[in-house]
Amino acid sequence: MDRRYRRLLSSIMYVKMNRWANSESKNSVFYLDVFLALSIISIPFLIYLHLLFPAIESSELVLFGMEFQHGYYDNQTFVWLVLTGIVPILLISIYFLAAKGFSKYGLLLLISFFYFDFVSSVAKQNLLFSLVNLKAIIGLVGYLVLLIYLDRRIQKVVKDQLSIPLPKILKEIEGKKYERINKTAKTLINNEKSSSQNHYLCKVYRVLEVLNNDEEFKANKFSNYHQKEVLSRGLLTISILVASLLIVIWNYIPFNIDKITLLGFDFPSFGFESIKVFVWYLGAKVAIILISLIQFFNSNKWWKFAYLAPVMIYLYQVFEILFLDSIIIESFGNVNILPFVFLTIWVVILFSFSVKRILQAEYYREILKSKFEEVIYKEALGK
């Protein structure tokens, strides 16, 4: 083997490795996106786990062989209270891992507020402003450090985001263009030596011509991306400040008030023990709705519709309190919203199949490019 041919092989192998590494990176982004989308959709359903516990009077909860003493009426109420605090923390944590830019670190502020609100409710003492519980502070710092560490690890593995336009995804769902191209490309790759070299090159060239006329995958490819980024950062910052106010405002309301007047209208406690408890419940729900909507409108991800699942669930829970006069909240009556949530799940799954086929076509295009160039170089060297 002469030097020219060795240099040629080295050059081809280098190009192949770069292309395959790029393809693997895109696959990593895709599977991470699927995980984030399904997590956002499924986490709000954790609140309904409290229905697995009997609503009988008891101040002791036995779970996995461990006993937990609490001062609430029954185990179902206590578990509901715990889940009411945990679910927003998990949801905002996923939002943090999915978001881009420095402004997303403001979400850690929301996590902190939800965390201390949760600990205060379970411990029956106000830790949000006094911060006297050292264990609670250590727990929060440890959790935030873990989140930042996970985010850094993800950013090292996944450096770009898939910015596949929605019309392209819908067009693939309708026509399945890439599914047909993938079958042809896979056949060419597996049957390289089944036909003459010239005939094989002609087939590869025709497939590459179709694929090369399509738009390349490039992360953050938007004509006015910088303006959108600045706008999204501003909206996210404002929404975080408003959501933080909604989470903590109940601390400033006296406990013995059962009616409040705003803008000339009287608002009752809607079945809660007091206005203070009502504002505590409603404020957290509205905060999640606000942040979820901002994430939906600011996101450029193909799975952004997953953000609508928490919005629908929390909106229905607010509607249930304000207009349905439900005696038992967040119970079996919430099945009314499930068809709309399942529609969101179906859209995300359908989009994922389309995106996977588009990425597969990109992967096959890189392989066929390498094979085409390899054959042409060999011909040029007379091999």
Output the pTM of the full model.
Answer: 0.81
| Calpha distance 164→153 (Å, rounded) | 24
Task: Judge contact between 308 and 340, C-beta under 8 A.
Answer: no
Beta bridge partners of 268: 259
| Calpha distance 327→271 (Å, rounded) | 8
Q: Sort strands 259-262 and 265-268 into parallel, antiparallel or unpaired.
A: antiparallel
* Residuewise pLDDT in 10s, the chain (383 residues): 455 545 545 544 544 545 444 555 667 788 888 899 999 999 999 988 888 888 777 777 777 667 777 777 788 888 888 899 899 999 999 999 988 878 888 899 999 989 988 887 776 655 554 555 677 888 899 999 999 999 988 887 776 666 777 888 888 888 888 888 888 888 877 776 656 677 777 777 777 777 776 654 443 343 344 445 556 677 788 888 888 888 888 878 887 777 777 666 777 777 778 888 888 888 999 999 999 999 898 888 889 999 999 999 999 988 888 887 666 778 777 788 888 888 888 989 898 888 888 888 877 887 777 777 766 666 655 55
Write out the two tokens for 87: 């679910």
Of 71, 368, 335, nearest in space to 202 by CA: 368
